[in-house]
Structure 1
Amino acid sequence: MSSPDSMTSRLGRLLSAPPISIELLPGDRSDWAASTPPEHAPFLFIERNLGIPQKLVYRIYIEAGLLLNHLRPRLRALQRNLLLPLEENVIRELHDMSAILLVVNPAHHTALNARKTLILGGHLSPTIELGFTNALLTLRDGSKQSTLWHHRRWLLRRIHQSTLSPSPSTDGVSTPRRVQGDADDTLVHYLIPADALQAELDVTARACELYERNYHAWAHRAVLLSYIVSLPSSSSSTLMAEERRWTRAWLARHVADYSAAQYACQLEAALPRSAMATPNIALAHVGEDEGSAASHALSLVRSYPTHETLWLYLRGALSGSPSSPRSPARLYAEHALAEKDAWTHAVRFLAWVLWQEGAIKASAKVVRRITMVAEHEESEVSGITAVSSSEAIVAIIQSSISSPELGE
């Protein structure tokens, strides 16, 4: 067991607060001695923001791992019998050592499972644990960990009441049980207050700023989107409209965030489902009319034609509603063929349009030929250097990929 005055125990107590944010500071304890209040030395703890010297925490990590390994028999016994009484010092050690391990490795499965066991046994509040995950998600490495986001949803299912009937007890004893929804990792059928829902949306936004193109943070937001769609019409319509505005503003500021573009397409696909649930409220549908996803995507492509993410966003926005031969999207793509930096993306987009229209079939040979055209491999695509108009280039793409020698 660690001494109450050891650095390991001191850090564990600071993490149990929990802090608002955590930052690993470059250097060792000596580099921060002058800035550290004596009551928290060698750590910085100011207004619940915790700073930990990086070299020091790596040494503490090793000690915490050894201590947690020493406590494994007690942890396994608790997992077998959640009603097993534990000494206060054992609970504190399990709590503190697992927290320290997660600061250095936010995807530490053993540490997360130990904390789940403490929660199920009634030794740790899930609300406090949610606050601790807030702090872990302020770490750049923590914000990108799928395991940590999954742990957060696990906590939400224990904090908030389920609308489903509980499973009947077979022995008459009230014991912790698996919450409905754990298997498919959903928040649907839970009563999440508006402020808690907004807090989750804010956490994902902060994580996406901290780690660019943060797939797992956007995946967490997609789970929240499914929850919003499941709400009664009076709540979901307003939230969906606000979420659409926020997502579009985000994409305009982060034009290379392909995870955000994917989420934007998921959001647009969810709008018709929300509209069916809210027949008295008009929600914009996918299409190319003013305010649609396609018009928004096209405006971004026009502003930033060299970003592949935005061309893929435009494809997603048009999926299910293929553009007509002279649609604004296709016209712009033909125009973009004259721009050297946008050529590759424009060629691939036009090939996708032709595939949507049924003019070509996807095959390995067809894809190779499209790639040759898109990558300017003139020696492989005869006549491409002699073409001067966008329409003629489109014709070459169509004719070359439909030639007999490229048949399936």
Structure 2
Amino acid sequence: MLYEAAPLVLKLFELIDQPPKTIEILPGDLEQWVSAELPLKSPQPSADFPFVFVEGNLGIPKKVLYTLYLTSVSVPRNADPHHAKAATCVTLLVNPAHQTALNTRKRLVLAGLLSPEKELEFTELLLRGPLDCAKQSVLWDHRRWCFGRLYDSLGAVNTQMPLPLLHGRYIPEELKLLPKIPQSVIRDEFRIIAHACQTYPRNYHAWNHRHFIVGICYALGGAINESSEEYWNILIEEHANLRRWIDLHVSDYSSMHSFGQTQKLIDHLVSSSFPCATESAISSLPSFSNHTLLLVTHYPSHESLWMFLRIALGQMPSHKRRLILEDMQASSTSNEAFRQTLRWFGYNNS
């Protein structure tokens, strides 16, 4: 059969299955790399090994990869597990949104022929590797599915008070199905998300995945158990990290929307007096509104920041919002975005 005549597909799969530290798709074909000067311990690219493998980092010439792709997509879905894993691995390197390949790998996981840990490892390589991978919604969804297979669900979270804000995104039945991901894995996941957002700016699907992880921290941070404080600490760390991210990416509205959602969850835990949630943890940071006002003052031409200010004002108590809006109304600023912000809240700056 066709897949039995494609040893290079299997060889590439074996390299990726190790796994390498990074994967990069290199320009050109094999001829451009056969004479490359590589470290002595690195295998020299050849017809039998058309890859660049240096210190655990894997480079695949683009034309070589596309040739292997044509072979891998021809492998039948009912192929033996080893060939199915190899073929779908190569397929997803070229087309990370290939739903048939992802579903084949799901079936392998369900059959116990592919571990969820290895699948998370593989998808991390994809998300950190080829540029197109980081923006694919189905790849992030596949990753969430793997978490659900690997970890027990939250079940009925035991808290002092209900968590209504999360119910705005998840109904109670869905909340119980969220995976109980360990703290160390959650920290790593935030790093993967940050890398994906840096690689592909304004990455809505990565930010949406981040909110999924934040929701787990929120639910477990409000729980009554010995690990709740650690999840609360992770939530606060990410709150600070996201604030710094916005300072450096003032056009990334997806990150600002995510910050507003995180701020809302933290405010709820603090105001509801959950055991682990204390105002001292965030008191050293500028307030949400002060932070956004500072940003729009320095970068008034960025519409995303004015939308960010609207989020901040909308989430604060009405009496505090009124004071800020009255100060804005009394100012001599003539910026149209400034005036639009006032109109959003019923103030006329004419």
Question: Do they fold alike, i.e. is TM over 0.5?
Answer: yes
Aligned mate of 2:68, from 47, 51, 60: 60
Whether 2:338 is the aligned partner of 1:346: answer: yes
State the distance in 1 between where 2:122 and 2:94 align: 14
Give the TM-score, by structure 1 length: 0.71
Encode CA deviations 1:129-165: one digit per residue, 9 max, x unaligned.
Answer: 1100011101211001110000001111111223439
Aligned mate of 1:124, from 114, 117, 121: 114
Structure 1 residues 91 and 31, CA gap change in structure 2 (3 angstroms): same
Structure 1 residues 27 and 189, CA gap change in structure 2 (3 angstroms): closer
Q: In structure 1, what is the equivalent of residue 212 of structure 2?
A: 223
Structure 1 residues 221 and 10, CA gap change in structure 2 (3 angstroms): same
Whether 2:159 is the aligned partner of 1:158: answer: no
Q: In structure 1, what is the equivalent of residue 166 of structure 2?
A: none
Measured on the aligned residues, the alpha-carbon RMSD in Å equals: 3.0
Structure 1 residues 282 and 41, CA gap change in structure 2 (3 angstroms): same
Structure 1 residues 325 and 121, CA gap change in structure 2 (3 angstroms): closer
Q: In structure 2, what is the equivalent of residue 6 of structure 1?
A: 7
Give 1:26-105 correspondences, 5 Å limit. 26-35=27-36, 37-38=43-44, 41-67=49-75, 71-72=76-77, 74=78, 90-105=80-95
User: Runs ≥4 in structure 1, deviation > 4 angstroms?
Assistant: 184-189, 322-326
Please state how far the C-alpha of 1:304 moved relative to its aligned partner.
1.1
Encode CA deviations 1:64-104: one digit per residue, 9 max, x unaligned.
Answer: 1112xxx23x26xxxxxxxxxxxxxx111100110111000
State the distance in 2 between where 1:305 and 1:188 align: 43
Q: In structure 1, what is the equivalent of residue 124 of structure 2?
A: 134
Q: In structure 2, what is the equivalent of residue 331 of structure 1?
A: 328
Give 1:254-403 correspondences, 5 Å limit. 254-275=249-270, 276=272, 278-279=274-275, 281-283=277-279, 291-321=286-316, 322=318, 324=321, 327=324, 331=328, 334-337=331-334, 343-354=335-346, 394-395=349-350
Structure 1 residues 277 and 53, CA gap change in structure 2 (3 angstroms): farther
Partner SS state of residue 213, structure 1: coil
Give the conservation status (yes or no) of the 8 Å contact 1:255–1:310: yes
Percent identity reads 34
Which has the larger Rg?
A: 1
Give the conservation status (yes or no) of the 8 Å contact 2:53–2:59: yes
State the distance in 2 between where 1:199 and 1:13 align: 25
Q: In structure 1, what is the equivalent of residue 186 of structure 2?
A: 197
State the distance in 2 between where 1:284 and 1:349 align: 31
Encode CA deviations 1:261-310: one digit per residue, 9 max, x unaligned.
Answer: 00011011111222225257433899xx9722111111111121111111
Encode CA deviations 1:23-47: one digit per residue, 9 max, x unaligned.
Answer: 1111111111123723772111223
Code of the aligned partner of 1:112: L
Give 1:162-181 correspondences, 5 Å limit. 162-164=153-155
Please state how far the C-alpha of 1:50 moved relative to its aligned partner.
1.6
Q: Count how many residue pairs are aligned between Structure 1 and Structure 2.
A: 318
Give the conservation status (yes or no) of the 8 Å contact 1:212–1:257: yes
Q: Which runs of 5+ in 1 are unaligned?
A: 76-89, 166-180, 338-342, 360-393, 396-408
Give the TM-score, by structure 2 length: 0.82
Encode CA deviations 1:48-67: one digit per residue, 9 max, x unaligned.
Answer: 32211112211211111112
Structure 1 residues 135 and 285, CA gap change in structure 2 (3 angstroms): closer
Code of the aligned partner of 2:144: R
Structure 1 residues 329 and 196, CA gap change in structure 2 (3 angstroms): farther
